[in-house]
Structure 1
Amino acid sequence: MSEDKSDLDQFSENLREMTAEFHKMAHDFFEAQNDQKSDLESDPMHIGETLIELSKYYTAHPEKLIEKQMTLWQDYMTLWQNASRKMLGDTDVEPAITPAADDRRFTDQEWQENQTFDFIKQSYLLTARWLNDAVDEIHPVSGHEKDKLKFFTRQFIEAMSPTNFALTNPEVLRETVESKGQNLIKGFENVLRDYDAETGKFTVSMTDNMKFEPGRNVAATPGKVLYRNELIELIQYTPTTEKQYKKPLLIVPPWINKFYILDLRPQNSLVKWLTDKGYSVFIISWRNPDASMADLDMSDYMRLGTLSAIDQVKQATGEKQINTVGYCIGGTMLSCTLAHLAAKDDLGQIGCSTFLVTQTDFSEAGELTIFVDEKQLADMEQMMARDGFLDGRTMSNTFNMLRANDLIWSFVINNYMKGKDPFPFDLLYWNGDNTRLTRACHSQYLQEMYLNNNLVKPNTVVMNGTPLDLTKVDIPTYIQAAETDHICPWKSVYKNTWSFSGPKKFMLAGSGHIAGVVNPPSAKKYNHWQNEDVPHDPEDWLAGATSHVGSWWEDWHKWLRSKSGAKVAARIPGDGPLDVIEDAPGSYVKVRY
């Protein structure tokens, strides 16, 4: 008895300590919120009007609401009957509902073996299904507003999962009993660590940022910075072969993230793999902008970014023609650059181009369109006008919301309820190493691409005084998409085959926006589909495609090497007319805000 009392006393003391700290943090948090003057609306996603339409619909059609309620009641009755049978010893009871095959929240055995937790789980899943069905029913709300309503309904449902609450999560309860509440104390210490008292902002830690450093254990492929301007650094990688393909290869990564997603570690570095294959690899490292760069728009990103890089690669190697690769928004900018060169009758300096999960037609651009409409853009413009940029955390939070269970709630449970430190993971370090976006460039990008889909309208988008027409891009293109990509859906990426007029090859990789690209052959993961034909309909392409086990990199290498010329002596960075500025990965990639 004395030992039990001691455990209870220890638990109570831990709980009192945590409560006191919580009250102090809550006071500081609300003080910080009061100090922050925001001109933005309290409903920045403008979902309120749509919720009113939902209420009006069911008020006007009470029979629909009654029907939905009766369905939910019948589901609950089935659940109660099943629970009663199990309590009476019946072991052959089919569940009223089961989690989706890819739902990892309920993997702990207690969710299946403990009747109480099994009941809580099924009750939650039934209610979630009912709520989704109720939203689907609303016919007066359609299109963009319906998509927003469904998205935020999903956010609410995921937030209310019983796994996200200590008293209904068996793993957390087990940890709390075994540690006498120390997990809650440590969890609250993690909360304090992730809360910035000065700004009043809270960022969920996904990994141990102290374990990684660009140039040491990420972005560590040897190379040199040969060129720098106010927007980019250009890196040339040190060759690992005696000879290299004649045509150098320039990679244009996205500027909404750091470039080293393509150079995380030697085992999965696309940069190193290409270098080992004998390519003379260059990559752009975009600057993480500050307020002084607010007026840099997409024309500036082309002029100072892709056009400058192309010129410098040619100067460094002495070659008149190079090959290019664009990733995500970097690929969108590359397509604009190719159209610009075509309009200037100067596309001959590019031999071929590869586009990795790149969109040029944004008519079906996936869930990110939920965040783009006139009202939301007006709010964003107001915020960017104040700061001169869009804070990288804002964009990062947007991407995380698309996969909230994996990228938000799993870390809330691990860090704050179980009291564990996040696991060191290079990919999540990169994911948190976000970049700012200049006001002018980001505004133009959202307006021209996402809101108005102007890039596929010939001569509508004008950059550096040149109307852009993608159909004038007649060089060979390799277009890669990823099967489960939620940022650039594969059928949207497929539309690039409609835009470019030259010889083209489309390839569909397994997995999503990151793993579908960064999938080295040595990993022996996923699969990819090939089809030499390029019909108009993506479904027709898939129906005629053949699935191949493993990475698509070797297929791309086979295509690319045939367009890279003969082998020449390997090029050592700095041996040409461009002097070495510093070692890779340079300075721009190390700037964090």
Structure 2
Amino acid sequence: MDNLFSNQFTDSFKNVFECTSKAQKSFFDTMTQTFEDGISKNTEIFDSFTQESKKSNTDTDDNNQSKAKNPFDSVNDYVSFITPTIGSFNTAISKWMLSLSQQPDLIDSQKTLLEDLGKLNLYLIAKLEGNDADPVIEPAKKDYRFSHHDWDSNPYFDAIKQFYLLFTNWLHSTIELNPNIDVKTKATVSFYIRQLTEALSPSNFLFSNPEILHKTMEDNGKNLCNGIHSFVDQLKGSTLGNFTVNPVDKDAYVLGKTMATTDGSVVFRNDIIELIYYKPQTKTVYEKPILIIPPFINKYYIMDLSPEKSMVEMLVKSGMSVFIISWVNPDSTHRSLTFEDYLQEGPLTALTVIEEQFKYKSVHAVGYCVGGTLLACLLSCLKKHKMQHKVSSATFLTSLVDFKNVGDIGVFIDEDQISAIEERMSKKGYFHGQDMGTMFDLLKPQQLIWNSVLNYYLLGKEPVTNEIMFWNGDTTRIPEALHSFYLREFYLKNKLAESNQLTLLDTPLNLADITCDVYCLATTDDHIVPWESAFELTQHAKNVEFVLSNYGHIVGVIQPVKPNQNVFRFHTNTKSYKTTEEWLNTSRTHSGSWWPHWNKWLQTKLGKKIKPTPLLKKYHLCQAPGDYVKVT
């Protein structure tokens, strides 16, 4: 195969690189014009769609809207929703191109690119002649797109790979050549350029990916047929605006039987939460129980996936009394529920129930993701009302309390895009979980989108559903009022990070009120809560032990202890530092899951051992996992 490609492509590649060299003078002008034409055309298209949307909406009756079973009522609704995002991109890319064209460093950058392309030309010729040569560029260690041996051994694919890497690296480097554009614009351009370059990776196409070609020849094209069938099946099960490339077998797991199986009882229920109490599995338990506050944008059983992947099970077996909140999956009747309602009827009510039913006057509270944001608000409220004894210590898992740097999610945070979300929520009364999932997928397009396209649609592999994929596909909704408040007051205005600027339950909040002992976990590859942002809690609160585990937002947290488990690791550092760099450079690295480290820390905060408090029959409403979690 190598000889075939060698003979066929030698002359063509020589011509390509000769033409590239001749194009040096007009290279940037051509690219600029292409971008400007694209932006102009893009704007025209979406303006026309918007006009049609407004016209169509005046003619659409209520019956058409009632037929919708998906996040969007019509194509026009979908276009109206994404138009502000497209506008944000157009504005950012225009600013970037204008500023870039005025930068003197651009010429040097172009010359460097062309020199590298010339080196690649010489490298290719040497390889085609059978000589050894060092590659001009190599993929990053974590870039698994080019792991097939033909990406290195075959000159044709090797050249495609290196050309792609050189050009994309150069394109991303030009973003940093713009000192005159604001951080928001730079981040927006970087985000969408990454979407483009990762979508156009040669690994995503049949004739430029050797692995797909080999598989196609071996299977006589059966892999492509299987991929088409998988795509069609997935398309049939999808509706406008919610297509996902990660097919999930809805029958693969059953809540209460194969997932969320830890023995427990729902002991309280209101319009917002079910409170679950887990049956003790030890003769004695620590005198202070644990209250887990999961994110209300997901279902709680991420903490109790399966017996071998359950944080809840681990805690219960360690002699700890565990309560967890299961949030309602809201519909249009819940549209007016606010962040205050979730705080009052969620953790505050849970604390009251735990004290009344079980006589526990103090708990250790655990907040995960936005549950941690809610926990920070809870702790400040309790301190202001001199009730801080109700939560004697706390754990924050990948949580934001300071929203000044939220990573790529910030691309979607501005007045126009939030207004578009609010306008669409006003029609249904909630924000759809599928929208949230799509946004999160875009934060890691290679891992969460294109890798699945390769495996399922091009290589024709059978979709595999694991516990996390099943949970991730089991989306939940967010009430309109709550989501609007959360986006504006936290993400857009960052009021929680400013002393007494955010008021909840008639109480001005201050992160400095968090004075209890805190265990704060962040993860290195978190695409939702960057670890540098989670670190900000150490700058606001007192007595914080910060821990950094590997992997991302989910796997970095759910790390069950297994024999010979060498893939997990975490960093610890008990000293306080102003910057993440100082903290990390002086930290200690540990092999294995962070769970034992946390467990040991917890044991010093939960008091002495006592006999478990018996659950009275009158408080048993139903068996865990309860009813709310089963609502789709």
CA contact (8 A) 2:84 2:420 kept: no
Tell me the distance in 1 between the aligned counterparts of 2:82 and 2:558: 39
Deviations 1:191-249 (A, max 9, x none): 12222478334222244332122222221111111111111111111211111111111
Which residue, out of 575, 578, 593, partners 1:533? Answer: 575
Aligned match of 1:282: 323
Matched residues in 2 for 1:496 and 1:464: separation?
Answer: 22
Residue pair 1:326, 1:332 contacting (<8 A) in 2 also = yes
Aligned-residue CA RMSD (Å): 2.1
| C-alpha distance in 2 between matches for 1:299 and 1:205 | 35
Correspondences of 1:36-47 after superposition (within 5 Å): 38-40=79-81, 42-45=83-86, 46-47=88-89
The amino acid across from 2:470 in the alignment is Y
Which residues in structure 2 correspond to 1:361-510 (within 5 Å)? 361-501=402-542, 503-510=543-550
Where structure 2 has 5 or more consecutive residues not aligned to the other structure, the ranges are: 1-72
Selected match of 1:200 from 237, 240, 255: 240
* Distance 1:451-1:200 versus aligned 2 partners, 3 A rule: closer
What is the distance in 2 between the residues matched to 1:34 and 1:366?
Answer: 30
Report the 3-state secondary structure (helix = DSSP H, G, I; strand = E; otherwise coil) of the residue aligned with 2:274.
strand
Residue of structure 2 aligned with 1:568, choices 579, 601, 610: 610
**1:323 and 2:344 correspond:** no
User: Would you say the 8 A contact 2:100–2:177 is kept in 1?
Assistant: no
Aligned CA distance change for structure 1 residues 176 and 539 (closer, same or farther; 3 Å)? closer
Q: Secondary structure at the match of 1:285?
A: strand
SS in 1 for 2:298: coil
Shift of 1:549: 2.2
Which structure is higher in RCO with an 8 Å CA cutoff and minimum separation 6?
Answer: 1
Q: Contact 1:175–1:418 (CA<8 Å) still a contact in 2?
A: yes
In the TM superposition, residue 277 of structure 1 has moved relative to its aligned partner by 0.3
Cα pair distance change 1:227/1:34, threshold 3 Å: closer
Residue of structure 2 equivalent to 1:52: 94
CA distance in 1, matches of 2:393, 2:618: 24
Shift, 1:499, TM fit: 2.1
Counterpart of 2:180 in structure 1 is 140
Instruction: Give 1:99's aligned residue.
Output: 139
CA distance in 2 between partners of 1:472 and 1:126 (Å): 50
> Do the aligned partners of residues 578 and 559 (structure 1) sit closer, same or farther apart at CA in structure 2, a change above 3 Å counting?
farther
Change (3 A) 1:59 1:550: closer
The answer to whether the 8 Å contact 1:388/1:439 transfers is yes
Cα deviation, residue 148, structure 1:
0.7
Shift of 1:85: 0.9
What CA distance in whole angstroms lies between the structure 2 residues aligned with 1:307 and 1:582?
A: 22
3-state DSSP of counterpart to 2:584: helix
Amino acid at match of 1:243: T
Gaps (5+ residues) in structure 1?
1-31
- Tell me by how many angstroms 1:389 deviates: 1.4
Equivalent residues in 2 for 1:124-135 (5 A)? 124-135=164-175
Deviation at 1:418, TM superposition (A): 1.9
Q: Would you say the 8 A contact 1:460–1:468 is kept in 2?
A: yes
Q: Give CA-to-partner distance per residue, 1:470-507, whole Å, 9 cap, x none.
A: 22232222222223323222232222123224x33222
> Match for residue 595 of structure 2?
553
1:352 corresponding residue in structure 2: 393
Shift of the 197–209 alpha-carbon distance from structure 1 to 2, 3 Å rule, reads closer
Distance 1:473 1:505, change over 3 A: same
- Distance between the aligned counterparts of 1:497 and 1:425, measured in 2? 35
Match of 1:244 among 278, 285, 303: 285
Q: Residue deviations 1:24-59, cap 9 Å, x none?
A: xxxxxxxx9657575346352511012222333355
Q: Please tell me whether the aligned partners of residues 250 and 313 of structure 1 are also in contact (alpha carbons under 8 angstroms).
A: no
Structure 2 CA distance for partners of 1:257 and 1:52, relative to 1, 3 Å: same
Give the TM-score of the pair, scaled to structure 2: 0.84
Q: What is the one-letter code of the residue matched to 1:385? A: S
Aligned partners of 2:425, 2:355: CA distance in 1, in Å?
36
- The letter of the residue matching 1:145 is T
AA at the equivalent of 2:128: M
- Separation of aligned partners in 2, 1:455 and 1:38: 33
Give the letter aligned to residue 524 of structure 2: E
1:115 counterpart = 2:155: yes
Q: Identity of counterpart residues, as a percentage?
A: 36
Q: 185, 204, 208: which one pairs with 1:168?
A: 208
Counterparts of 1:221-260 in structure 2 under 5 Å? 221-260=262-301
Q: Which whole-Å deviations, capped at 9, do the CAs of 1:437-462 have from their partners, x for residues lacking one?
A: 21111111121112111112222111
Q: Where does residue 193 of structure 2 map in the other structure?
A: 153
Whole-angstrom distance in 1 between the partners of 2:191 and 2:618: 50
| Conserved? CA contact 1:53–1:140, under 8 Å | no
Normalising by the residue count of structure 1, what TM-score does the alignment of the two structures yield? Answer: 0.89
Q: Distance in 2 between matches of 1:36 and 1:196?
A: 20
Distance of aligned partners of 1:360 and 1:577 in 2 relative to their CA distance in 1, 3 Å threshold: farther
Helix, strand or coil for the counterpart of 1:156? helix
Say how many residue pairs are matched: 556
Contact 2:519 2:544 in 1 (8 A): yes
**Partner of 1:420: helix, strand, or coil?**
coil
Give the aligned partner of residue 8 of structure 1: none
* CA contact 1:479–1:505 (8 Å) conserved in 2: yes
The partner residue of 2:620 within 571, 580, 588 is 580
Task: Give secondary structure in 2 for the equivalent of 1:210.
Answer: coil
Paired residues of 2:96 and 2:185 also in contact (CA < 8 A) = no
Residue in structure 2 matched with residue 27 of structure 1 by the alignment: none
| CA spacing shift, 1:497–1:55, aligned 2, 3 Å | closer
SS at the partner of 1:548? strand
CA displacement at 1:281 relative to structure 2: 0.5
- Deviation of 1:105 after TM superposition, in Å, equals 0.5
CA distance change for structure 1 residues 199 and 516 in 2, over 3 Å: closer, same or farther?
A: closer
- The structural deviation recorded for 1:390 is 1.4
Q: Describe the SS at the equivalent of 2:99.
A: helix
Distance 1:34 1:394 in 2: 15
Match of 2:629 in 1: 589
Q: Aligned pair in 2 of structure 1 residues 81, 51: CA closer, same or farther (>3 Å)?
A: same
